[in-house]
Structure 1
Amino acid sequence: MNAIRRLAAASAVVLLIGFTTPPSLAQVVVFDPNNYAQNVLRAARALQQINNQITSLQNQAQMLINQARNLANLPYSSLQQLQSSIQRTQQLLNQAQRIAYDVQQIDHAFSTTYAPVSSGASSQTLISNAQSRWRTSLAALQDALRVQAGVVGNLDTNRIQTSALVTSSQSATGALQATQAGNQLVALQAQQLADLTATVAAQGRAQSLEAAQRASAQDQGREQLRRFLTQGSGYQPTSVQMFH
């Protein structure tokens, strides 16, 4: 009986101790290194994937920005100035006097005024044709000088446009702007070449008409000499009274 009482008392003490023990001492913390390492690796991989996605998005954004720059138009255009220069030169060529740059007009002049002298042409016709040829040559020289003056006047415009286009090309933000600046520089060179062509044409016209005048004058001189030396119809001496 006493033994049973002692056992019951001992059990009560054990239960009392179990209920009065603090929770922190009752719970046991277990640390698993393998599980912790796997969790760290998974977190690192997830973070790397996020960084890769961020980098990819940044690259795509930069690519879109570059595409926008490459598709941007050049803010400067020299087309109007170049067209104005070409029009001024063209107007000067169109204002050519007398025999101009027309094939039919040239053919008509060389079949009449510049044609070989006919033996039946009157002296008045010879004089009139000679005067017409001289006026034509003089007008051609004036036209050549006017074209040259117009081309020289375009030089200042060309200088300004060249400077503006080179500056635009150097400050181009994309491929399209650089290409457009280059195209406008090529157009400027074409305009300068057109001015040079006009100058050469005007100068060549003046030289050709001057040479044609000399050739016609030589032909006319031979005919007048022939008439002067022809007996009967040539020069006949007459008496002249100088004093009254």
Structure 2
Amino acid sequence: MTGFPLRRAILAGALASAAVVPIALPMPAYAQFGGIVYDPTNYAQNVLTAARSLQQINNQIQQIQQGATSLINEARNLTLLPFSSLQQLQQQVQHTQQLLNEAQSIAYDVQDIQQAFDGRYKGAALTGDHAQMVANANARWEDSVGAFQDALQVQAGVVGNIEGTRTTMDGLVSASQSATGALQAAQAGNQLLALQSQQLADLTAAVAAQGRAQALQSARQAAEEVEGRERFRRFMGN
């Protein structure tokens, strides 16, 4: 009977020791603070998802900005040039053409030239009676004088167009330098080509008028030679 109380004492001591030693349990993957559950893994995934979403939004914003820039550039390329020199160039060309149309006696027309030469510069016009020969000689002289006058007038008109050409060229150069798009630059270039065409038209008119005067003068001299031989033949025959 004495051994029974001893066993009871040993058992009581073991239970007391077990109550003092803590039991080691595995920690959970989350923690709870004041009723709020915190999961580090889920939080990291949420942050990564938010970062990716933000990057996608930034990419979309950049695409929208690039599209807007492209539309602005296209709008600039389609903008018309605010400067036009067409009316001024047309007026200069019309003025030069008007001077050519005012040609005296023999105009710039093939039929008129043919009729004038048949009537005053060759054939029977140089071998008619004395009165006819005198009248034709006066007509030829008037043709030459009128042609030189016409040439001087055309040359004066061409010189008068130089100031207008300079003004037009300055405006076109300024417009081309301030062009904001491809269309404006192309239109400025086309107008510069039109300006060059107008200058070539003036040069052609001046050369044509001068050539006409020289041609009529040469024709008059040739006709006078033929007429002089005819007069000499008649004088010697008489």
TM-score range, shorter chain: 0.7 to 0.9
Structure 2 gaps of 5+ residues are: 1-31
**Distance in 1 between residues matched to 2:192 and 2:184, nearest whole Å:** 12
Matching residue of 1:130: 137
Aligned-pair distance for 1:125?
1.3
Matching residue of 1:85: 92
Contact 2:78-2:181 within 8 A present in 1 as well: yes
Contact 2:104-2:150 within 8 A present in 1 as well: yes
The alignment status of 1:174 with 2:164, answered yes or no, reads no
The one of 145, 151, 156 aligned to 1:144 = 151
**Distance in 1 between residues matched to 2:207 and 2:125, nearest whole Å:** 34
Matching residue of 2:169: 162
Contact 2:104-2:146 within 8 A present in 1 as well: yes
Instruction: Give the secondary structure class of the aligned counterpart of 1:112.
Output: helix
Aligned-pair distance for 1:36?
2.5
Matching residue of 1:47: 54
Contact 1:89-1:151 within 8 A present in 2 as well: yes
Moved over 2 A (4+): 25-37, 116-120
Aligned-pair distance for 1:208?
0.6
RMSD after superposition: 1.7
Matching residue of 2:12: none
Matching residue of 1:204: 211
Report the TM-score, using the length of structure 2 for normalisation. Answer: 0.82
In the comparison of the two structures, how many residue pairs are matched? 207
Once the two structures are superposed, residues 9-44 of structure 1 have per-residue CA deviations (whole angstroms, 9 ceiling, x without a partner) of xxxxxxxxxxxxxxxx98476644332322221111
**Distance in 2 between residues matched to 1:80 and 1:229, nearest whole Å:** 65
Farther-moved stretch of structure 1 (119-128 vs 131-140): 119-128
Structure 1 gaps of 5+ residues are: 1-24, 234-244
Matches within 5 A, 1:1-244: 27=34, 31-116=38-123, 121-230=128-237, 233=238
Once the two structures are superposed, residues 120-173 of structure 1 have per-residue CA deviations (whole angstroms, 9 ceiling, x without a partner) of 511121111111101100000000000000000000000000010010001011
**Distance in 1 between residues matched to 2:195 and 2:164, nearest whole Å:** 10
Distance of aligned partners of 1:26 and 1:192 in 2 relative to their CA distance in 1, 3 Å threshold: closer
**Distance in 2 between residues matched to 1:75 and 1:87, nearest whole Å:** 24
Distance of aligned partners of 1:118 and 1:153 in 2 relative to their CA distance in 1, 3 Å threshold: closer
Q: Which amino acid is 1:87 matched to?
A: Q
**Distance in 1 between residues matched to 2:125 and 2:134, nearest whole Å:** 13
Distance of aligned partners of 1:26 and 1:120 in 2 relative to their CA distance in 1, 3 Å threshold: closer
**Distance in 2 between residues matched to 1:52 and 1:194, nearest whole Å:** 58
Contact 2:151-2:213 within 8 A present in 1 as well: yes
Aligned-pair distance for 1:85?
0.2
**Distance in 1 between residues matched to 2:170 and 2:125, nearest whole Å:** 60
